[in-house]
Amino acid sequence: MSLSTIMTNYFLRHVQVMLFSLGQLWRQPVASLMTVTVIGIALALPAGLFVLQQNMTTVSEQWDDSNQITLFLKTTVSQVEGKQFSLDLKKWPNIAQVQFQSAQQSLSEFRQLSGLGDLLDSLPNNPLPAVIIIYPAEDIVSPDAIGSLLARLEAMPQVDQAQLDMEWLQRLRSINKTIHRGISILAILLSLSVLLIIGNTIRLAILSRQSEIKVMKLVGATDRFVRRPFLYTGFWYGLLGGILAWITLMITLGVISGPIDELIGHYGSNFDLQWFSVNMLTSLPSIGVVLGAAGAWLAVSRHIHMIEPN
Amino acid sequence: MIQFTDVYKRYPNRYEALSGLSFHLNKGEMAFLTGHSGAGKSTLLKLIALIERSSHGQVLVNKQNLTHLPKGKIPYYRRQIGLVFQDHNLLHDRTVFDNVALPLVIAGENHREIGRRVRASLDKVGLLGKERNLPIALSGGEQQRVGIARAVVNRPAILLADEPTGNLDPDLSRDIMQLFEQFNKVGTTVFIATHDHDLIRTLPYRQIQLHQGRLAQREVE
Ligand SMILES: Nc1ncnc2c1ncn2[C@@H]1O[C@H](COP(=O)(O)OP(=O)(O)O)[C@@H](O)[C@H]1O
Ligand SMILES: [Mg+2]
């Protein structure tokens, strides 16, 4: 027999065992479908959350460049003093640009925007403070650098309050980081349960075929031969579960992408939600296959060698 | 072909099933293993098939010393031996063809060779027309023939049978015995455990008789 014939035989045998294992699943459609569904959900859940979280990250990154600081000056600071103060600040190396707005300007701007002119006229004096808007230098981008600039400005005697305009963005970002960590943990836990679900399913399959395994060993089957169909069963569970997860995810994202695009549109951003899902297409079934094979391996390595004819 | 030298078998519960057993079976010989129920017949065959290991003494089969055969080599060793059981040990969710083909599939034979040999084997036991049936659709005698076809399909040097006619009526039993004789005639060493004295009384083969795990004094030639 030539080497190529041997290789062909070997390959054919594997294909046969693969199809045999698939046939075994097909023979118990309800039980198999239930297992595949559980695996699909367990994979789809963290994957879907990752997609949403990815989108959140992208959105928050698009708003990255708008980190200006607003200083509210104390009312005891006169207009001249305030103007001078803003010119002093402009000399700081970590400040690129300043923009002074007197209390009077603040008031007229407010009057314009709010349309509450009559009400303001009835007030005895101007309740609004003078404001300096600070644009930090280009290299001041990290949250730490901005934070320390903010603290220094707030400590100045003329300043009543210093506010990072995009403080909420920072908060969003740290929430985002927390969510990411939470999803990662969830993903690990759910992967572990997929591993155990498949391992346990294969274990039950092995136990239900105990007498068959004994007969096979009596007519000369090696452990490796007995193992093979069970490993392929794990492979199929993982693959089918992964594909189901992907389908579930595509449908879900299809349903929610409209409203999400609309939401994001309100904030002046737009991008294609589907793009991430295309990446999932390849990764979900492969993750499923890896988990399925590993779970099956766990079961066969523990049980097959213990089943001996007696 | 099969040689026992001072063999003891003690089960984990300290029960001594075989004690100081020595005998020799020649290549191409056919012999019966007899004795009361519990005498140790099955235990002896299990030692030959390496389903159990001897506690003491030496078992030589086909020039191989079984005492030191590593566990990983057992499957390959078993492929030289055909085993027939009282309860057939067939796979009930596979066809007659697939059952008989099992040893060849395990040995990695190619498709065409498997088909050829399975049909030849089924032909010898007279079941050629039933290869697509499931075992449950067959009678007890037919199931046992499937078991025999499976045991001989990879042309083993040794054929072991443990009470192969235990569940069969006398006529069917005689048919089965004739089958074994046919395989012996073409050179296979055949060793059959049975307590059916009526069946083998008239047959011209050696009887190795066990009594409480020991060789009984009388050995019928
Ligand atoms: N796995 C086992 N564990 C403990 N004792 C056993 C085991 N198998 C057989 N025996 C005991 O060994 C003795 C011989 O049994 P066996 O070889 O089956 O006899 P036979 O086949 O001649 O009826 C019996 O007394 C039986 O109870
Ligand atoms: Mg017995």
> Does the CB of B48 have a partner CB in chain A at under 8 Å?
no
Q: From the CB of B38, is ligand 1 less than 6 Å away?
A: yes
Mean pLDDT of A55-77: 76
pLDDT at A271: 53
Burial class, A193, CB count within 10 angstroms (exposed 0-12 / middle 13-18 / buried 19+): middle
pLDDT at A275: 56
Q: Tell me which chain B residue has its CA closest to the CA of residue A217.
A: B75
Residues of B in contact with A11 (CB under 8 A): none
More confident residue, B139 or A145: B139
B94 pLDDT above the threshold of 60: yes
**CA B97 vs CA A195, B105, B112, B118, B160: distances in Å:** 36, 11, 13, 7, 21
What is the rounded distance in angstroms from the CA atom of residue B78 to the CA atom of residue B69? 12
> A219-247: per-residue pLDDT in tens?
999 999 999 999 999 999 999 999 999 99
- B35/chain A closest Cα distance in angstroms: 21
> A10-62: per-residue pLDDT in tens?
888 888 889 989 998 998 899 999 999 999 999 999 988 888 887 777 766 66
Q: Where are the domains of chain B?
A: 95-155
pLDDT at A176: 84
Bridge partners (DSSP) listed for residue B32: B192, B207
How does residue B9 score in pLDDT terms, banded at 50, 70 and 90? very high
What is the rounded distance in angstroms from the CA atom of residue A132 to the CA atom of residue A135? 10
| Percent of chain A residues past pLDDT 90, beyond the cut | 38
What is the rounded distance in angstroms from the CA atom of residue B168 to the CA atom of residue A168? 87
The overall pTM is greater than 0.95: no
What is the rounded distance in angstroms from the CA atom of residue A14 to the CA atom of residue A6? 12
How does residue B140 score in pLDDT terms, banded at 50, 70 and 90? very high
Compute the count of residue pairs across chains A and B with CB atoms less than 8 Å apart: 47
Q: Where are the domains of chain A?
A: 16-63+170-306, 69-164
Residue bearing the CA closest to ligand 1, atom 27: B38
Number of H helices, E strands in chain A: 10, 4
Residues of B in contact with A5 (CB under 8 A): 110
Burial class, B23, CB count within 10 angstroms (exposed 0-12 / middle 13-18 / buried 19+): middle
- Of A144-153, A250-259, B178-187, B189-198, least confident by mean pLDDT is A250-259
Residues of B in contact with A28 (CB under 8 A): none
B218 pLDDT above the threshold of 60: no
How does residue A68 score in pLDDT terms, banded at 50, 70 and 90? confident
- Of A115-119, A207-211, A293-297, B129-133, least confident by mean pLDDT is A115-119
Q: From the CB of B164, is ligand 1 less than 6 Å away?
A: no
Question: Which atom of ligand 1 lies closest to the CA of B44?
Answer: 17
Q: From the CB of B17, is ligand 1 less than 6 Å away?
A: yes
pLDDT at B188: 96
- B24/chain A closest Cα distance in angstroms: 24
The interface predicted TM-score (ipTM) is 0.93
B44 with B163: CB under 8 angstroms? Answer: no
Distance B29 CA to ligand 2 centre (A): 22
CB contact under 8 A, A218 and B51: yes
Highest mean pLDDT among A94-103, A137-146, A199-208: A199-208
What is the rounded distance in angstroms from the CA atom of residue A205 to the CA atom of residue A299? 10
Amino acid identity at A254: G
Residue bearing the CA closest to ligand 1, atom 2: B11
Mean pLDDT of B207-217: 91
Name the residue among B98, B83, B110, B163 with its Cα closest to residue B135. B98
Pocket test for ligand 1, best of B11, B46, B207, B215 (most atoms within 8 A of CB): B11
B46 pLDDT above the threshold of 90: yes
**Which of A219, A304, A310 to mutate: most B Cβ within 10 Å?**
A219
B119 with B131: CB under 8 angstroms? Answer: yes
Exposed e or buried b for every residue in B157-182, given b needs 16+ CB within 10 A? ebbbbbbbbeebeeebbebbbebbee
> A172-188: per-residue pLDDT in tens?
778 888 988 999 999 99
Q: From the CB of B35, is ligand 1 less than 6 Å away?
A: yes
Question: Which atom of ligand 1 lies closest to the CA of B37?
Answer: 23
Please work out, in degrees rounded to the nearest 5, the angle formed at the alpha carbon of residue A23 by the alpha carbons of A19 and A26.
140
Distance B17 CA to ligand 1 centre (A): 6
Give the A-side interface with B, CB within 8 Å: 5, 9-10, 12-13, 211-212, 214-222, 225, 308-310
Q: What is the mean pLDDT of chain A?
A: 85
Q: From the CB of B41, is ligand 1 less than 6 Å away?
A: yes
Tell me whether strands B56-61 and B2-10 are parallel, antiparallel or unpaired: antiparallel
A267 with A58: CB under 8 angstroms? Answer: no
Amino acid identity at B160: L
Highest mean pLDDT among A48-62, A122-136, B115-129: B115-129
pLDDT at B6: 95
How does residue B84 score in pLDDT terms, banded at 50, 70 and 90? very high
Residue found under tokens 């990815």 = A54
Domain A69-164, second-level architecture:
2-Layer Sandwich (3.30)
DSSP 8-state secondary structure symbol assigned to residue B73: G
pLDDT at A16: 85
- A205/chain B closest Cα distance in angstroms: 14
